[in-house]
Amino acid sequence: MLTRLPPSARILAVEDDPLLAGHVQSHLLGCGFDVTLSHDGREGLQLAESEDFDLVLMDILLPGIDGLQVLQRLRQRRSVPVLLMSALGDEQNRIAGFSQGADDYLPKPFSLGELSVRVEAILRRVAYERREQQPSASGDGLQFDEGRSDVAFCGTWVGLTPSEYRVLELLWRHRDEALSKPFLYQQALRRAYSQHDRSLDMHVSHIRRKLQAVGYEAARVDTVWGKGYLLTQALA
């Protein structure tokens, strides 16, 4: 069954080029979205933290605070989906964006048609995930909260990004089963696997570090050489 998008989904577009910002706003308004514009990083961060948006579109090269710094700070408080837009389309910048918790990356120049397709795909995926029945507790003290895309252990939030949450939740649902990298990219990171893309490895490294920081030791994410990762019960 087709998943409905949120009615009049609220979008924050943070773009310092006034001409492009105007085109983006006009196009998305025509698609039925409620669009708020911001032209610098500090203002964009303040708006994203203080208001409830369904999606944030953000350039990387912004005055005040660049988009990656905004994303890093935003992820400490909000799990709102973020689509980065940038002329910096090389692999290093894409990996940097995804490692900070971006949900998608749209290199400039792009068509407004592609933009709206990407926006609708993210909003539809988020709406679908919110409808799915998610595990509320793992049985070993790890508490899943799909709404904030994070897990808690003994009352302490781990501080996962949305991408890290999706990776961990998928591994937990398939615990003791080795999941391949292509499967994890497709199902958790929502994009195709590339042999040179190291963002999944960075997400797993962050998950391990964050779980260890809150004292969670009941299970661990193991590397399955030549295949991918699995979540397995830690040996006593």
83 is written with which tokens? 């689509």
Q: What is the pLDDT of residue 130?
A: 61
Mean pLDDT of the 105-120 span: 91
Which residues touch 209 (CB under 8 Å, ≥6 apart)?
none
Q: What is the pLDDT of residue 102?
A: 87
The percent of the chain in helix, strand and coil, each rounded to the nearest 5, is 40, 20, 40
Compute the Cα dihedral for 189, 53, 5, 127 and give only its sign.
Answer: positive
Mean pLDDT of the 118-124 span: 89
pLDDT digits 0-9 by tens, 29-77: 999 999 999 999 999 999 998 888 999 999 998 988 999 999 988 887 7
186 is written with which tokens? 């497709």
* Residue 114 pLDDT greater than 60, yes or no: yes
Compute the Cα dihedral for 147, 76, 159, 129 and give only its sign.
Answer: positive
What is the DSSP secondary-structure string of 80-144?
A: --EEEEES--SHHHHHHHHHTT-SEEEESS--HHHHHHHHHHHHHHHHHHHHS---SB-SSSEEE
* Residue 5 pLDDT greater than 80, yes or no: no
* Residue 228 pLDDT greater than 70, yes or no: yes
Query: Domains along the chain?
Result: 10-131 (3.40.50.2300), 142-233 (1.10.10.10)
Which residues touch 62 (CB under 8 Å, ≥6 apart)?
14, 16, 40, 41, 44, 70
Q: What amino acid is encoded at 165 in this protein?
A: Y
Percent share of the chain, pLDDT over 90: 46
